[in-house]
Amino acid sequence: MPDGDPPLTARVVGHIRDIPAHDWDACAGGANPFVSHAFLDVLETSQSAQPQVGWAPQHIVVSDDTGHIVACCPAYLKSHSYGEYVFDWSWAEAYQRAGGRYYPKLQVAVPFTPVPGPRLLVRPGAPATTARGALAAALLALAKRRQLSSVHVTFAGEAEVSALVNLGFAARIGHQYHWHNRGYGSFDEFLNALASRKRKAIRRERAEVAAQGLTIRTLTGAEIGERHWAAFHRFYQDTTERKWAHAYLTRDFFHGLGDRLGERTVLVVAETTTGNVVAGALNLAGEDALYGRYWGCDADYRFLHFEACYYRAIEYAIDCRLARVEAGAQGEHKIQRGYLPTATHSAHWIADEGFRQAVVRFLAAERPAVEADIAALATQSPYRRDGGEDR
C-alpha cells in the first residue's frame, strides 16, 4: 500500500440492501444506471438474481480505518454460465474433462446485462489504485477461501481491465454495436450523414411501419402504466421461450424497475388502433448514453423491430443530447442502421496454474481474430466517407 494511504478492510455482503444506498451510489456514480444500488436491489428483491437460480450475491465492500465505504463491486457466486454474455462454456467443459470442478465460480457483473460500465467502483477522492487493488485482492481471497475455480470481471472498463491484468488476470475482448451522436440536430440530419442507398432503405422501412396502422410511443416515468409492464413481461416471457432461454426476470422486476428507476426507464411501445400494446422495447438512460435492453412483440410486423429498438432510440438520444446508444451484442444488421462495432473488455483469473496458462494461450490466439472481425465489420459502415462521397 503506498505511503500515506489509509489501511483498508474488505468484507463480503450477501444482500445489497445491507449496504447503504448512498454509500454504494457514491462509489458507482450516476453515469451508468445498471451499477446503481436501485437496479441491483430490484434484481434481488424481485427474486430475479438469487441463489436458487445460480446467482448468489457476494458483493465486496471496502472501508477505510474509520469504517467509511470507499469502494465496492457487484459480485455473484455462479453455479453455471448462463446470463453472462461472455461465454466460457468451452473453458468449463475442458476443465471438467480434466477432472476439475469449474463451478461454482465468482462473477463480477450486472446479472443478465451485457452493458459495459464500471465494475470496480471507487468513491471520488479515495485512492483509486489502492482501492481497486483492495477489491481485486478481496475477490481473489474469497475465491481461494471458497476453493473457486475462477474469477471473472465482465463488461468492465478498459482501464479497470488493465489494472486487473497487472494483478494476474488475463484480458479478453469482444464486441457490441453502438451508435454515436455526432451532434445531430434531428433524425433527418443523422440520415443525411449516411450513404444515399442506406438512407433510402431506412426511410422505406419507417414508411412501411407507419403504413401498418400502429401508434408508436416513447414513454418514460409516470407515462408507463400497469398495462405497459404487464404487456412487456408477456413479451419477455415469449421471447425467452422462443429462444429456449431461461426467463430470469420476474414480473416484479419490471414493476420494481418502473417504481425505482422510472425516470431513467425509456419504454417504446407499439399500439393498435384499439389501444392494445403489441410490441415494446425497453431502454435505460444514463448520463450520456441510452442502453437498449429487451424487445418483444405479439405478432410479425414488418420492420417494427428496427423502428422500436434502433430508430426510436436514436431519436431519443438526439432529442436528449445523449452521446451514444448502446444496442448490445449480436446482429450485424445493426451496422446498416448506424450502429458500429465497438470493443468490450473483460478480465479473468484462473486458480489452477496449468489451466490458467491454457486460457492465457487461448486468449492470446483469440484476440487478433476478434480485432480482425471488428475491423472487417467497421468497413461495412453506412456513413458517407469523409470526402462526402455518397456510395
| Tens of pLDDT, residues 269-280 | 999 999 999 999
Cα–Cα dist 133/26, whole Å: 18
| Section 235-255 average pLDDT | 85
| Section 137-143 average pLDDT | 98
pLDDT above 50: residue 283: yes
pLDDT above 60: residue 214: yes
What are the residues whose beta carbons fall under 8 Å from the beta carbon of 231, sequence distance 6 or more? 269, 277, 280
Kindly state whether residue 24 falls inside one of the protein's structural domains. Answer: yes
Cα–Cα dist 332/301, whole Å: 20
Q: What is the pLDDT of residue 3?
A: 53
User: Could you tell me if 165 and 278 lie in one domain?
Assistant: no
Kindly state whether residue 352 falls inside one of the protein's structural domains. Answer: yes
Q: In the structure grid, which three cell numbers stand for residue 312, read together?
A: 426510436
Number of structural domains in the chain = 2
User: Could you tell me if 192 and 314 lie in one domain?
Assistant: yes
| Section 180-209 average pLDDT | 97
User: Could you tell me if 79 and 124 lie in one domain?
Assistant: yes
Does 74 sit behind a cis peptide bond, omega within 30 degrees of 0 on the bond before it?
Answer: no
User: Could you tell me if 239 and 289 lie in one domain?
Assistant: yes
pTM for the full model? Answer: 0.95
DSSP secondary structure letters along 295-341: EEESS--TTHHHIIIIIHHHHHHHHTT-SEEE--S--GGGGGGT-EE
User: Could you tell me if 167 and 82 lie in one domain?
Assistant: yes
Q: What is the pLDDT of residues 318-366, one digit of tens each?
A: 999 999 999 987 889 999 999 999 999 999 999 999 999 999 999 999 9
User: Could you tell me if 153 and 251 lie in one domain?
Assistant: no
User: Could you tell me if 83 and 148 lie in one domain?
Assistant: yes
Q: What is the pLDDT of residue 385?
A: 83
Torsions phi, psi for 84 (to 5 deg): -115, -40
What are the residues whose beta carbons fall under 8 Å from the beta carbon of 274, sequence distance 6 or more? none
Question: Does the CA dihedral 348-344-162-39 come out positive or negative?
Answer: negative
Count of positions (residues) in the chain = 391
Q: What is the band of 247 on the pLDDT scale with cuts at 50, 70, 90?
A: confident
Q: What is the pLDDT of residues 35-50, one digit of tens each?
A: 999 999 999 999 999 9
Kindly state whether residue 76 falls inside one of the protein's structural domains. Answer: yes
What are the residues whose beta carbons fall under 8 Å from the beta carbon of 67, sequence distance 6 or more? none
* 315 closest CA partner among 176, 177, 200, 189: 189
Query: pLDDT exceeding 70 applies to what percent of the chain?
Result: 96
Kindly state whether residue 333 falls inside one of the protein's structural domains. Answer: no
User: CA-based Rg of the chain, rounded to a whole angstrom?
Assistant: 22
User: Could you tell me if 91 and 191 lie in one domain?
Assistant: no
Q: In the structure grid, which three cell numbers stand for residue 110, read together?
A: 450486472
User: Could you tell me if 86 and 47 lie in one domain?
Assistant: yes
Kindly state whether residue 335 falls inside one of the protein's structural domains. Answer: no
Kindly state whether residue 334 falls inside one of the protein's structural domains. Answer: no
pLDDT above 70: residue 72: yes
User: Could you tell me if 363 and 246 lie in one domain?
Assistant: no
Q: The domain spanning residue 117 has which CATH number? A: 3.40.630.30
Kindly state whether residue 85 falls inside one of the protein's structural domains. Answer: yes
What are the residues whose beta carbons fall under 8 Å from the beta carbon of 189, sequence distance 6 or more? 318
3-state secondary structure 76-130: EEECCCCCCCCCCHHHHHHHHHCCCCCCCEEEECCCCCCCCCCCCEECCCCCHHH
Q: In the structure grid, which three cell numbers stand for residue 91, read together?
A: 473453458
User: Could you tell me if 284 and 152 lie in one domain?
Assistant: no
Cα–Cα dist 391/387, whole Å: 11
Q: What is the pLDDT of residues 224-238, one digit of tens each?
A: 999 999 999 999 988
Domain residues for the domain of 234 are: 182-322
Kindly state whether residue 89 falls inside one of the protein's structural domains. Answer: yes
Question: What's the mean pLDDT when you consider all of the chain?
Answer: 94
Confirm if 118 and 90 have CB atoms less than 8 A apart: no
Q: What is the pLDDT of residues 155-166, one digit of tens each?
A: 999 999 999 999
Alpha helices for the chain (secondary structure H): 21-28, 37-45, 89-97, 128-145, 158-165, 187-192, 196-210, 226-242, 251-261, 304-306, 312-319, 353-378
Query: pLDDT exceeding 90 applies to what percent of the chain?
Result: 91
Q: What is the pLDDT of residue 1?
A: 47
User: Could you tell me if 188 and 157 lie in one domain?
Assistant: no
